[in-house]
Amino acid sequence: MTKGKLYGVSVGPGDPELMTLKAVRIIREADVIALPHSDKNRCTAYNIAVKAVPEMESKELLMIPMPMTKDRDKLEKAHNDGVKRVMEELEKGKSVAFLTLGDVSVYSSCQYIYQPVKEAGAQTELISGVPSFCAAAARLDRPLVSGEDRLHIIPASYDVEDCERLDGVKVLMKPGKNIDRLRRFKLCGVENCTMEDERIFNSVDEAGEPGYFSLFIVD
């Protein structure tokens, strides 16, 4: 077993005040901060967390770029490289905090590093946080589900054609270029939830061309 420990640390949807006390403590105590980017200044997770933990600026950073592609070979290479570099730090006895947006258990890039490291026998721990769809419901001033309602979380950058068959509330995350496919739905949504440039919309037309950190709620 490695001497160090890997933490998957959720930093929430955007507002640093939504970070948990535990996430702040783990970041403060960690020897190394791992970021899913090649440039800390362009890493959203870093820019959120550093506002809550200013002393993070003086910590050792481990940059682990995650390519925005569906090319399996490129993704596998990036993930394998990331696992190797994290394991090297753990072998030195260092604790590593891998920062991730929202909650680490929901469509997180951290999982591509975390799971192989865990399977290799290293010490690991996930630090939960506020997921974007819960924060979005709060910003829209509405409940997400209640009573016997069912909730479906769907990655909208893939096929969404079968969503109409699903009974209950649908959360469509990161629609990207699939935005036109959502016109059939009655929906509301948030772009850059709880961030300074947050945008709320009540239809696809209002959304226009939403950015990467966008989600829609369909009743």
Q: Write the class of the CATH domain 5-127.
A: alpha beta
Separation between Cα atoms, residue 48 and residue 51, nearest integer Å:
6
Distance CA 194, CA 204 (A): 20
Instruction: Write down the pLDDT at residue 1.
Output: 63
**pLDDT < 70 stretches in the chain:** 1, 177
The β-bridge partners of 100 are 10
For the domain made up of 132-218, the CATH class stated in words is: alpha beta
Q: Could you tell me which of 57, 62, 136 has the C-alpha nearest to residue 102?
A: 136
- Pairwise CA distance, residues 126 & 90, whole Å: 16
Q: How far apart, in Å, do the first and last CA atoms of the chain sit?
A: 47
Q: What is the pTM of this model?
A: 0.92
**Model confidence over 18-42: pLDDT tens digits?**
999 999 999 999 999 999 999 999 9
What is the rounded distance in angstroms from the CA atom of residue 189 to the CA atom of residue 27? Answer: 31
Q: Which pLDDT tens digit goes with each residue over 149-179?
A: 999 998 887 777 777 788 999 999 888 767 7
HSE (side-chain half, CA atoms, 13 Å) at 104: 26
60 — phi, psi (to 5°)? -70, 130
Q: Where are the domains of the chain?
A: 5-127, 132-218
Q: Which two tokens stand for residue 52?
A: 């809550």
